[in-house]
Structure 1
């Protein structure tokens, strides 16, 4: 009986071993850029290659060996000073999809059967110059639900962002489209106009909702963009892109939950073994790690991610999803054990408040977000292992970082509950925001967690019109995390007075904004 069990065990083990084939190939310098490895073209040693979980380095000949099963994407982790080939839409092609039987039969088509694993899965790279100081463009949630909204995205954002001439590449932080996954290729065609290598994160509105397991929720995404979990280097920065949506929700099979599968965190762990501690590590995912309770993000997954990164002194996370703008800082009470607080930039979105609001002169909705942040995109500026972030409001100069709201006229020497409000788009509770009147003494403003009154005033206008306006009413306001208030002086001389506000961002840069108001004699009852 024991002998029989041993034979069965050996057979079972053999079947298990056979199920994981060995993928092998070369990462090489494609000197003639024809996408095919010639005998004269040399392999590149020390380049990381992954199957989405394990990570290995190429040997002295540029060769790698990785295990694969019947649903794997093999990809090279682009090293610094090299670039991967780009397709016709400027999407980096650094991967090979291995799905012999293709994707499951889902509403939105995934990958066609790829057949048997090639004898050699090779990856071409080209040398390129990469300066330690560079800029990346960051888009949050384009999220067009229709071709019409895709046109609004193109006209309202992409056509403007093409003027960013000094950027090295771009990245969109998920919700590339709004549930209609047939728009993925059309979105990619629009992004071609940016003229840059463009990386993409998967969002909850990019998922195959009829998938029965989380591993199949990204099938349509993979067909257009490749792996939903990957990494790449640029200069002294290392970027890790992750799908952080668990679907269906493992708790009840309904909806989704923020978090990671074990294999995804295994990939992060195995990948970081080859990332020097002096690098800037930038994580990009869709759902923010920030949490009120565990209903938004699985605590254990955030904790393991924090544990893997704690020895890296220079770390940044970027997320989107909320259609707000927020700076999140994690410390010991959140499970972060690094030397400095862990910074997550929860980016404003290119769709703003879902293409709502008044139409501008071009016929594009202004789409101000519910916290009063204007529609726009971010510029991640890296200098060695340090970074700064700028927020570019659509239709405004880059220096525009504050919007002021104040009454236009107040009664002389009469108390008022009206005030001066400053929405400092990139601010957070500890930011320094000050004001002065008529070039007088600078005084601190008070941070308040409240609805932006300028945004609220816009809603009132929509609600009181007697004829419908073009477009769609914006969403109701939510408390802003970057709003400050000060009392407005009424005990000054009659006439016009000048308000000036200055705000210092987390990188030590100072921004100013100005406004006016008038003091008049009180009107008798």
Structure 2
């Protein structure tokens, strides 16, 4: 009898242990949208579900099974043609957090204890019509350090962006807050004023700095936004969102370093096993894969990422962090072995140069970035497995893509070391940029890596002030990667002349901008 009781106890213990180590559930079509799986609601087969490392597909009944630990998030990878529930702040709810003991005791609160694992962790999906052609809004670095700066973001960016039409969803590329993680929920409330769901990336200013391990640095982020590494599908595109901050820096235990943990790279590998090779793969993370600051990203992690994607001919990476705007193209010299060049768009930011500069007529800092790019947001336009990117400058028509800097007046027939400068915000040095004077012939402008003189003039204005004005001095300028120069003719008739600049981008689209200057008689000594 004792032997039988012992066997029963052992079986029960084994079952409980197994139940604690395994999560089961269904992905189903929630026809009445009440968030509960009911018997008549069908399960959805071949839908990917993940624990942040492993990725499995549901069976013909919509069922899945995954291993789970005491600090995991289970999430469904939304298939194309379906939507997930959203919170009152338009945050997608596609995940279940399992932290029986809650987050560790940190300065900024994390997840409260979730208790025992439910018998079934189910994910509701709603069928929806998704076109193969769609537009996603991309934000970089809102980064408010205070509630006042959050208000500036709300009035200066969101109040403008919310009027965009045809947006399917948004992706915010990290630094949603500026170290004060209590601003995360308030930031989400601001984004509620748009009418589309927002997927969020974790940035280095969204971390729990008092965490002792990298895996715990996202505890407060998880509380508001869910997992820091996940994926979803929309149309013919597959989106992978990643936290790419190693904290503390494994080299010296101080600060942070750009890179991925092994489990994050394993997730990408396992996720891509279920993604057709002809789909567009879009990766979103905070720290760019390369920057002028050497060793800003761990080489081995970039190389493994490249190797995982080399069989995908259609791919794009989007990052932020730098408070500049540029395109990075990776080749074999950088470890990329796939077809063509690997394109990373390092997006401009909605905080611009950290809410600096003079105030506009609405009392909001102009915040032009150090490379002369005005603050704004990007519009990722996807058609099938191809993409284009537009940059929307805040307060300007979409057609405004170039800023011209030139002298206002030059002496007739007298040589000048001044020049015509064109800052083509979305430009790359391989783009074609030309200019003409009046109805003259088009001439090629020369790409130059130098500070934007228009931005430099704005900064110098602060240093020449004799009385302080509201606002904060902008940061010092840096070399722009999208600046072109042409000589300024002085051998033309006296009077006003029109400068026209046209630029053709990497997608074959042409943009124009005009400016004026005056040719006057020289003034004698």
Instruction: Settle same-fold status: TM greater than 0.5.
Output: yes
Pick closer, same or farther for the CA change 1:204–1:389 going to 2, 3 Å: same
Matches within 5 A, 1:54-93: 54-93=54-93
1:486 and 2:506 are equivalent in the alignment:
no
2:101 aligns with 101
1:25 aligns with 25
User: Any idea what SS the aligned residue of 2:193 has?
Assistant: helix
2:241 aligns with 241
2:407 aligns with 407
The answer to whether the Cα contact below 8 Å between 1:324 and 1:347 also exists between their aligned partners in 2 is yes
Distance, in Å, in 1 between the alignment partners of 2:417 and 2:235 is: 52
2:336 aligns with 336
Matches within 5 A, 1:282-297: 282-292=282-292, 295-297=295-297
2:270 aligns with 270
Distance, in Å, in 2 between the alignment partners of 1:291 and 1:181 is: 26
What per-residue deviation string (whole Å, max 9, x for no partner) do you get for residues 360-397 of structure 1? Answer: 11000010000000010000000000000000000000
User: Any idea what SS the aligned residue of 1:187 has?
Assistant: helix
What per-residue deviation string (whole Å, max 9, x for no partner) do you get for residues 415-462 of structure 1? Answer: 111000000000011110000111111010000000000000011111
User: Any idea what SS the aligned residue of 1:287 has?
Assistant: coil
C-alpha displacement at 1:19, in angstroms?
9.9
The answer to whether the Cα contact below 8 Å between 1:19 and 1:69 also exists between their aligned partners in 2 is no
What per-residue deviation string (whole Å, max 9, x for no partner) do you get for residues 33-84 of structure 1? Answer: 0001111111000000000000000000000000001100000000000000
1:116 and 2:119 are equivalent in the alignment:
no
Matches within 5 A, 1:383-394: 383-394=383-394
Distance, in Å, in 1 between the alignment partners of 2:430 and 2:95 is: 43
1:4 aligns with none
The answer to whether the Cα contact below 8 Å between 1:108 and 1:220 also exists between their aligned partners in 2 is yes
Distance, in Å, in 2 between the alignment partners of 1:294 and 1:522 is: 49
Matches within 5 A, 1:225-236: 225-236=225-236
1:351 aligns with 351
The answer to whether the Cα contact below 8 Å between 2:49 and 2:57 also exists between their aligned partners in 1 is yes
The answer to whether the Cα contact below 8 Å between 1:418 and 1:487 also exists between their aligned partners in 2 is yes
Q: Name which of structure 1's ranges 162-171 and 296-305 shifts more when overlaid on structure 2.
A: 162-171
2:136 aligns with 136
The answer to whether the Cα contact below 8 Å between 2:325 and 2:425 also exists between their aligned partners in 1 is yes
Distance, in Å, in 1 between the alignment partners of 2:26 and 2:166 is: 33
The answer to whether the Cα contact below 8 Å between 2:20 and 2:117 also exists between their aligned partners in 1 is no
1:174 aligns with 174
Distance, in Å, in 2 between the alignment partners of 1:393 and 1:241 is: 25
1:445 and 2:445 are equivalent in the alignment:
yes
Distance, in Å, in 2 between the alignment partners of 1:339 and 1:440 is: 41
**TM-score normalised according to structure 2 size:** 0.96
2:35 aligns with 35
Q: Name which of structure 1's ranges 290-299 and 123-132 shifts more when overlaid on structure 2.
A: 290-299
Distance, in Å, in 2 between the alignment partners of 1:291 and 1:310 is: 22
User: Any idea what SS the aligned residue of 1:428 has?
Assistant: coil
C-alpha displacement at 1:294, in angstroms?
5.1
The answer to whether the Cα contact below 8 Å between 1:86 and 1:197 also exists between their aligned partners in 2 is yes
What per-residue deviation string (whole Å, max 9, x for no partner) do you get for residues 164-184 of structure 1? Answer: 121111110000010000000
The answer to whether the Cα contact below 8 Å between 1:131 and 1:235 also exists between their aligned partners in 2 is yes
Distance, in Å, in 2 between the alignment partners of 1:94 and 1:333 is: 39
C-alpha displacement at 1:291, in angstroms?
3.8
Q: CA RMSD in A?
A: 1.2
Distance, in Å, in 2 between the alignment partners of 1:271 and 1:20 is: 24
**TM-score normalised according to structure 1 size:** 0.96
Distance, in Å, in 1 between the alignment partners of 2:325 and 2:376 is: 10
Distance, in Å, in 2 between the alignment partners of 1:317 and 1:58 is: 28
What per-residue deviation string (whole Å, max 9, x for no partner) do you get for residues 476-509 of structure 1? Answer: 0000000000110011111111100000010000
User: Any idea what SS the aligned residue of 1:263 has?
Assistant: helix
Distance, in Å, in 2 between the alignment partners of 1:272 and 1:248 is: 28
Gaps of 5+ in 1: 1-13
1:454 aligns with 454
Distance, in Å, in 2 between the alignment partners of 1:493 and 1:291 is: 46
Matches within 5 A, 1:199-218: 199-218=199-218
User: Any idea what SS the aligned residue of 2:482 has?
Assistant: strand
Count of residues in correspondence between the two structures: 511
Pick closer, same or farther for the CA change 1:20–1:243 going to 2, 3 Å: farther
Distance, in Å, in 2 between the alignment partners of 1:41 and 1:455 is: 59
What per-residue deviation string (whole Å, max 9, x for no partner) do you get for residues 164-215 of structure 1? Answer: 1211111100000100000000000000001111100000000000000000
Distance, in Å, in 2 between the alignment partners of 1:468 and 1:20 is: 63
2:145 aligns with 145
Distance, in Å, in 2 between the alignment partners of 1:19 and 1:133 is: 43
User: Any idea what SS the aligned residue of 2:26 has?
Assistant: strand
User: Any idea what SS the aligned residue of 2:233 has?
Assistant: strand
1:257 aligns with 257
1:47 aligns with 47
1:5 aligns with none
C-alpha displacement at 1:278, in angstroms?
1.1
C-alpha displacement at 1:292, in angstroms?
4.3
The answer to whether the Cα contact below 8 Å between 1:137 and 1:379 also exists between their aligned partners in 2 is yes
Distance, in Å, in 1 between the alignment partners of 2:173 and 2:77 is: 19
User: Any idea what SS the aligned residue of 2:501 has?
Assistant: strand
The answer to whether the Cα contact below 8 Å between 2:352 and 2:374 also exists between their aligned partners in 1 is yes
C-alpha displacement at 1:293, in angstroms?
6.4
User: Any idea what SS the aligned residue of 2:113 has?
Assistant: coil
1:3 aligns with none
C-alpha displacement at 1:254, in angstroms?
0.2
User: Any idea what SS the aligned residue of 1:194 has?
Assistant: coil
